Structure formats: structure tokens, C-alpha cells
Structure 1
Amino acid sequence: MMKNLMSWGFLWSLVALLSSCSGTKELEGRLAPNPELSPNSETNNPSASLLPNNFPTTIPIYPKATSQENPEGLTPEKGLTRWSSSDSIKAIADFYQQQFQSTPWKIVEPFSSNPQDKPLIVQGNGLEIKISFLNSADSNTEFTLEYQAVKNSTPSTVKSSPNLSPSTLEVVNFSDLDTVPEPLRSSVQNLASLGILTPDKTGDNVFNPNGPISRRTYAKWLLNAHNKFYENAPEKQIRLGLKTAQPAFGDVLAKDSDFEVIQGLAEAGLIPSSLTGDTSTTVFRPDAPLTREDLMTWKVPLDTGKALPKASIDGVKETWGFQDTAKINSKALQALYADFQNGEKANVRRVFGYTTLFQPKKTVTRAEAAATLSYFGYQGDGVSVEDILQK
């Protein structure tokens, strides 16, 4: 009897010991750090392995977003990336609003109540970042994350640039808009009310509609007007050039007040330069008068949204019927040929009316230059200044 009791006691002691060990391991397991929350864990950010090459590691990425492409030309100082997520716009917007609340980030322009209407702009770590939502369809949200280096600036001294915040353009109450030629007057007045047009050098409130316009001034109007018209479509906007970029023209260097605009147009291929293969074009001549050839060459590609078609002297002569077609340079010929296909919205028809002479080297007036900017689009698909004013 005593022997049996001792055996049972031994067995119960053994069971208790094993139970104690099991409890200890379970407790250790509960107290161990969760590998999913480890800062070095890939599961903490599933997108980490999908980051494009040269993407700055200081920029937070939405954990459930995937890169839609691996764009070329990204650098730690500049880039535009596109992302996709199955989460809602609100969830992604809330994430970024929270991420950029702490140092060293500073929100310059927050999302609006509807994040699709207005991009988020922040600054920090030497970068300016813009996050824009493109669409939210089929349970899929797409957004772009654009960044560029910012030198010697702090969030408190941020100055909005034309392609990031066209709504900050300054409206000038011109004193002489009644002298704009009647066919162009409505277009010029509407553009002036958006703050796109700037005063002439002859006076603070003087538009001087019939005076000449410089290449520099039209470049600014062109970029500001186009980006204002497509304020809610970041994928269509012209990006400013960076101060750190290799100048496209020898006479427009980084210290020039309009360098970012002119460099941006050149990098977008809208102004002929060495970047577009025009090796003979080494200078921009910013203060030279804008000619009709310049006007068409720069403006029409923004209407068509694609490369200009091939064109010949005979082709343009047959369409427009210009008597001086042989005097027009090749780039302007291409632009004119495409412009003819735009019907009543063609720049030539809207600005110059009926004419059998193009006069390619003739200086464009400020009113004529402004009138070209009252409409962007091609073959029925476009936006007018009236459309913008009605929003």
C-alpha cells in the first residue's frame, strides 16, 4: 500500500513539473516581441521590396501600396512615382496626414475634405513632396507621389511654385483691357481674372495688349495657364525644372528668375533645345520678341497631347493655303499641320482669323499670345477658360 502511494506521488510531481515548464514557455512566447512589428521586418511594409531604384528612403510609403511602374531617371533629388492600393482614398490620406505631422516634416498644403480635389504638399528632409489621388475605381485606388529637392528653405518660408499651386496666381486689375481687339477681348479678360496674365513693363496695371511679348513672358503664361486648367489632373501638368539641373540653354542659368519655368518647358520637350535633338539651339533668347513660329511650336503640342505629326510644305499649303508656307521652319510646319486638324478650335483661327499669310517671323502681340491660352485641347476634347471660371 505504502509503495503504491509513493508511486502515485512521484507521478503527480512529474506532471506538475512538466506543466510548470509548459507554462513558462507559453509566458515567454507571450512576452516575446511580435516579428510583424519589428522595424526591420519586411512584413512591416510589404511595399519595401517594390520601391523604385533611387527612391529616397526617408519618404514614408503606404504599407498596402504597390508601385505601378519603375520609372527611369529617378534620383534622390527628383522623381515621380505611381502607386496602387486596394484601400480607400480616405485610409491612404489619413495615413499620410498622420505620417507628416511629426518632425522633420511640415505640411505646407493639407488635403481638402475631398482628397481627390487637392493634393497634399509637405516639406522636410530637404525635399518637397506632393501626393495626388488619380482615381478610385473597381476597388482600387491610384495615387502619385512626386518629390524634388529643396535648398536653403524652411516650411515657414515655402513659396508656392506655378506647377504646384496655380491657385496662388495674383490677379491684376488692368486699366487698359478695353483696348484689346474686340475678337480677343473676352478671352483676355477671362484669363486676367484667373491671374494668369502679368503686367507689361510699361506700368504696374498696364497690360499693353497691342505691344510685343517676350519669349520669357509667354513661357510663364503658357506654363501657368496649362497647369491652372489642369489643376486637378497632376499627370497632365508641366513640372518645373530643378535649380540643380544642367541648364538646357546657355543664356538661362539657375540664377535666372524664370529658370525653373523655361527649364521645365525644355525638359518636357515643348521648347526646342539640345534635349529634343536640336543641337544647334544652344540659347533661348528669353527677352527676344515671340514670333508666330514660336507661338505655334510651343502651344500646339499641349493641345494634341502627343508628338507633332510629320508635315511638308505642300501639306501645309494645301490645308491652310498660306502663300508664304516656304518661309516657315520645319517645327512650325508640323505644329500648323496639327493645328489645322483642330477645326474651329485651331489657334490660327481663334487668334488670327482668316488669313492667307502666316508671316512666321512676325512678332506676336500680348493680346494674341493671351488668346491662344483660352483653350487647351484637341478635336473636341479640351478645356476652355470659361469652363474653369464656371467651376
Structure 2
Amino acid sequence: MYRYFILCLLLPVVTACSNVDDLGNRLAPSPELTEKKEDITPSALKIPQDFPEIIPQYANSELQEISDNLTNKQGLIRWSSSDSLEQVSNFYQGKFKGDDWEITQPFNADDNTLIAQKEGLEVKISFLSANNGNTDYTINYQSLNASSPSSTEETSTSSSSQTKDNSKNLNNIPQSLTTSVEEVKKLGTINFNNSENKTIDGNTIINRRTYARWLVETYNKFHENNPAKQLRLGVNTSQPAFSDVGSNDPDFAIIQGLAEAGIIPSRLTGNSSASLFRPDTPLNREDLLTWKVPLDTGKGLPKASLDNIKETWGFQDTTKIDTKAIQALYADFQNGEQSNVRRVFGYTTLFQPKKGVTLAEAAASLWYFGYQGDGLSAQDVLSIN
């Protein structure tokens, strides 16, 4: 009887334990779901086969993002490391100094960028704002001999179709940009070499030299009656700011003038993006903002972080944007409805920093120069003249 009594007391305990185990098994995460979650974490990313082997890789880092259409000639990869910015930057500076690289821009705390070249490849390492104590950084590389992502045909067209003769034969202009483009054309500062009187497609991608020329000539036209605000052209006796734009280049005075004014990043600015200007490669959205915004604000670009852009523009591809363009975008946002992004690209949640700029977009960007209500439009200039 006594043994039977003990067994009766123990039976509920054993049954409860069994029920707890069964409940635990039912509440445990599904192995399939666990496996699926691991597959989408950043650590699951692998270095693409096309990523150049000569670019050093910091061991204590995890891949966070890989740009679309990455090749062995160009691409962007974002990394994150639990080590400090100083540790990561010292590693890359040491590698670039000891492995036959040419450092064209040493790391500095002003823009957190390091640029080096080797075997025809330019590599830019940009350190981003800290994220949860980690050091986030991007490796952006491009072949110095490769053309931009835009097609060679487009580049050739934009290069050979634009120089001296003012042409009215620009068609296929988006309706939202038509008024701005037409008024800028009336200023006589956006010129095409159109001796055969052919119609030019407004969706053709513009190259860097052409936009530089349009930018200077249009800006100076806006300030025709105020020489103190005009940009000064470079002179042939100056030391070229870029090794690929010599004094015999037809646009040397324009490009040199922009570099000497600190508008275009160069070896003269101390935070140069490169020693080359690449005049005949397509202009991208980063270029446009970086060059145009200082002429709107009348001063240098402000300091800005990725968080600033996320809080203002809210772009989904913020981490793909160059440091200088981040600064330009932050200032551009403060310009309200007259910001270049709003006027030229309209509403968008993607900035697409490497996307080529069309002739129509480039012309429309020049319709207004000014900041926070203090400025002029092409329409204002035409009415004055």
C-alpha cells in the first residue's frame, strides 16, 4: 500500500515533465525557417569571382552589400568590421604603401576617403558613419582604361555632337523638363556641333567635358552683370590639375577653371577623387550634384553622414553614394523645391548615383542657380536681358 501511494504521487510529475518536453518541441523554431533566416543574413554574401584579386581585403570584415552588374573593371562592395576605423584605415594604407600601389589621395579625417591606383585600376575606399559601434566602409573600383557603364555609342554621340554651334534640334525631351530646357537653350550657352543640322536625341547621355562647359558658360551668363561672381577660366601657363587634360585640350580653360575654383575635386583640393578627369566618359548623377551644388550655395559643401541622407531624402541606395555626393545631396535638400534632385529627377526613392545624365537632364539642371530663395532662373535672366 505504501509503495502504491508513492507511485501515485510521482505519476503527475512525470506526466507534467513529458508535457513540457512536448510543448518545447512544438514551440521550437522550424529547422527550415532557421536555415532560411541564415541564408539571408549579410554573412551569407560571398565575394564575387569578378572582384579583382589585387585589391586587399581586411580579414575581420563581413560583406554587407554588392553593387549590381559588378565586373572585374568596375564595382562597389560594402563591408562592416567590428574593428575601429583607425585599424581598418591603417591596414589599407599599409597595404597600398607596400604592394606597389600609387596612393593618389592619402586617408584624411575630413572626408574619410583613401584612393590608390595599380595596374590600371583605381580603388577608392570610403569610410562611412559608425553603425552600432562597427566600422562600415565601401570599396569602389574602376578601370582607368574602361569606359563608363553607359554605352560607347552614347558616349561617342555626346562627345562628337556638342561643341560650338547652338542647335535648336534637340528632341525627345521629357514633358516635365521641356520648359526648363527650352529657356536654357535661349540663353545660348548649351551648344552642339550640329553642322549637318541633324536632330539630337535629348535622352543621349552627356559626357563630363560637355557638362563642365555648359556649367561654366551658363553660370557666368547668369552673372553677366556681376563679374565678381563669375568663374575665372584657367590659363595655359597653369600646371594642369588633371593629367589627362593638358593645356592643348580644347576645354582646358573650362576644366582647369573649375578645378582651381574648387568646384571639381582634383589634386588641388586636398580631397581629390582622382588625378584623372576623364573628360569623354559619361557624366553621372553624383558628378552633376557634386559640381552644381557649390555654385547654388555659393560656398563649400557641408559635412554630412549617411544618416542625414536617410532622414532627408530617404534614398534606399544611400550606401552606394560617394562621400562628396552625400554632402552635395544634403545641401541640395535644404534648397526645397529648387533642389536639383527635385527639379531634374522628380520624386524618387532611389538616387542611382552611377546612372548617366541625359542631355535634357543636364540642361534642366542649369535652369536655376541659387539657394533657399536667393537665386535666379533662366526665365529671370532672359527677362533682364
Bigger Rg, structure 1 or 2 = 1
1:273 aligns with one of 237, 262, 266: 266
Question: Aligned-pair distance for 1:291?
Answer: 0.4
1:188 aligns with one of 181, 184, 191: 181
SS at match of 1:348: helix
Give the equivalent residue in structure 2 for 1:48: none
Give the equivalent residue in structure 2 for 1:221: 214
In structure 2, what is the Cα distance between the partners aligned to 1:203 and 1:349? Answer: 35
Give the equivalent residue in structure 2 for 1:244: 237
Is 1:294 the counterpart of 2:303? The answer is: no
Aligned amino acid, residue 175 of structure 1: N
In structure 1, what is the Cα distance between the partners aligned to 2:273 and 2:169? Answer: 42
Structure 1 range deviating more: 195-204 or 218-227: 195-204
Give the equivalent residue in structure 1 for 2:370: 377
Question: Aligned-pair distance for 1:204?
Answer: 4.2
Is 1:322 the counterpart of 2:315? The answer is: yes
Map 1:195-234 → 2, pairs under 5 A: 195-199=188-192, 204-234=197-227
Q: 1:244 to 1:331 in 2, by over 3 A?
A: same
Give the equivalent residue in structure 2 for 1:23: none
In structure 1, what is the Cα distance between the partners aligned to 2:245 and 2:238? Answer: 12
Aligned amino acid, residue 308 of structure 2: G
TM-score normalised by the chain length of structure 1? 0.55
Question: Aligned-pair distance for 1:278?
Answer: 2.8
Is 1:256 the counterpart of 2:249? The answer is: yes
Give the equivalent residue in structure 2 for 1:32: none
Aligned amino acid, residue 248 of structure 1: A
Matched-pair contact (CA < 8 Å) for 1:200–1:207? no
Q: 1:202 to 1:332 in 2, by over 3 A?
A: farther
Question: Aligned-pair distance for 1:381?
Answer: 0.1
TM-score normalised by the chain length of structure 2? 0.56
Matched-pair contact (CA < 8 Å) for 1:174–1:199? no
SS at match of 2:354: coil
Q: 1:221 to 1:348 in 2, by over 3 A?
A: same
Structure with higher RCO (Cα < 8 A, 6+ apart): 2
SS at match of 1:274: coil
Aligned amino acid, residue 355 of structure 1: T
Q: 1:203 to 1:349 in 2, by over 3 A?
A: farther
The unaligned stretches of length 5 or more in structure 1 are 1-168
In structure 1, what is the Cα distance between the partners aligned to 2:320 and 2:195? Answer: 33
Matched-pair contact (CA < 8 Å) for 1:172–1:205? no
Q: 1:287 to 1:361 in 2, by over 3 A?
A: same
In structure 1, what is the Cα distance between the partners aligned to 2:183 and 2:164? Answer: 14
Give the equivalent residue in structure 1 for 2:17: none
**Aligned Cα RMSD in Å?**
1.7
In structure 1, what is the Cα distance between the partners aligned to 2:202 and 2:329? Answer: 24
Map 1:346-385 → 2, pairs under 5 A: 346-385=339-378
In structure 1, what is the Cα distance between the partners aligned to 2:249 and 2:212? Answer: 14
Question: Aligned-pair distance for 1:199?
Answer: 1.9
Aligned amino acid, residue 302 of structure 2: P
In structure 1, what is the Cα distance between the partners aligned to 2:194 and 2:206? Answer: 10
Matched-pair contact (CA < 8 Å) for 2:235–2:253? yes
Q: Identity percentage over the alignment?
A: 61
Matched-pair contact (CA < 8 Å) for 2:167–2:192? no
In structure 2, what is the Cα distance between the partners aligned to 1:310 and 1:216? Answer: 27
Give the equivalent residue in structure 2 for 1:344: 337
Matched-pair contact (CA < 8 Å) for 1:289–1:363? yes
Give the equivalent residue in structure 2 for 1:14: none
Matched-pair contact (CA < 8 Å) for 2:284–2:357? yes
Matched-pair contact (CA < 8 Å) for 1:266–1:272? yes
Deviation above 6 Å: which 4+ runs of structure 1?
none
The unaligned stretches of length 5 or more in structure 2 are 1-162
C-alpha offsets along residues 189-223 of structure 1, whole Å, 9 cap, x if unaligned? 11111111122679545342100000000000000
C-alpha offsets along residues 114-149 of structure 1, whole Å, 9 cap, x if unaligned? xxxxxxxxxxxxxxxxxxxxxxxxxxxxxxxxxxxx
Give the equivalent residue in structure 1 for 2:169: 175
Matched-pair contact (CA < 8 Å) for 1:174–1:205? no
Matched-pair contact (CA < 8 Å) for 1:199–1:206? no
Matched-pair contact (CA < 8 Å) for 2:236–2:253? yes
In structure 1, what is the Cα distance between the partners aligned to 2:230 and 2:342? Answer: 26
